[in-house]
Amino acid sequence: MGSVLEETLKELEVTQREFWNVARPTGNFLNMLVKMTNAQRVLEIGTSNGYSGLWFLDALKKTGGQLTTIEFYDKRQSIAVENFNKCGFEGLYRPLIGSACDIIKDFDESEKFDFVFIDANKREYVEYYNLLKDHLLPKAIIAADNVNSHREKVQPFLDAIEADPLFQTEILDFPGGLSVSYRLC
C-alpha cells in the first residue's frame, strides 16, 4: 500500500464517526475480498468521504477493475473525489450523485457488477438488493455493512437474500456486522 494512501486512511480514521465510515478491519477485509475474487466491476452504495472507496480502489488497481460509487450529498462526494485523486486513483472510479434507488433504476440493462457493497440508508437495503438483481454477474458478491448494529432496519434485506436460493450468505463479526452473500451461479 502506498504511503499517501496509508496516510490518507489514517487521517480519515480521525473523523470516522462523523462520516460513518466502515471500521479499518472491514475496509481491509473488503480490499482482500476484491483481490480474492478478482472483482472488476464494483458498485458501492454510500460513498461518504471515500474511506471505504479508498480500500476498494487500492484493490481494484491490482485487479484492473473500476469502482462506481453512489452518494446522495454532492459535498461528501467532492471530498471523496479529492481523496481518491490525492491517492492516485484518477480514472479508476465513477462518482454518481443522487438517490441510490433512482440511480439504480436508471441503469442501462447492460450495466453489470461482480461486487456490490451496500452502506447507505439501512431501511433501503432490501430495495437496493431487489433493484440490483438484474445487474449482477454470475458469482457476484453482495456485502452489506451494519447488519448487526442496525438489525431491525436491515432485517427485510437479510430475510430476502437468505431466502434466495441463488445466494449463500454469512454474517461476519466485524464492527457493526458485515453480511457477505455469494451468488452461486
Is 48 a binding residue for ligand SAM by CB under 6 A? The answer is yes
Is 77 a binding residue for ligand SAM by CB under 6 A? The answer is no
Could you tell me the CA-to-CA distances from 172 to 73, 92, 116, 149 in Å, in that order? 29, 28, 16, 12
How far is the C-alpha of 52 from the C-alpha of 120, rounded, in Å? 12
Q: What is residue 174's three-state secondary structure?
A: coil
User: Among 2, 32, 73, 94, which residue sits at the site for ligand SAM (rule: CB under 6 A)?
Assistant: 73
User: Among 41, 76, 135, 183, which residue sits at the site for ligand SAM (rule: CB under 6 A)?
Assistant: 76
Is 8 a binding residue for ligand SAM by CB under 6 A? The answer is no
Q: How far is the CB of 132 from ligand SAM (least distance, A)?
A: 13
Q: Which stretch binds ligand SAM (CB under 6 A): 1-9, 35-43, 44-52, 59-67?
A: 44-52
**Residue 50: DSSP 8-state:** S
Is 72 a binding residue for ligand SAM by CB under 6 A? The answer is yes
Q: Which stretch binds ligand SAM (CB under 6 A): 1-9, 34-42, 107-115, 119-127?
A: 119-127
Burial of 106 (0-12, 13-18, 19+ CB in 10 A): exposed
Is 51 a binding residue for ligand SAM by CB under 6 A? The answer is yes
Binders of ligand SAM among residues 125 to 144 (CB under 6 A) are none
177 with 146: CB under 8 angstroms? yes
Is 107 a binding residue for ligand SAM by CB under 6 A? The answer is no
Could you tell me the CA-to-CA distances from 80 to 12, 15, 113, 156 in Å, in that order? 11, 13, 21, 30
**Residue 92: DSSP 8-state:** S
Query: Given the rule CB under 6 A, which residues bind ligand SAM?
Result: 20-22, 46, 48, 51-52, 70-73, 76, 99-100, 119-121, 124
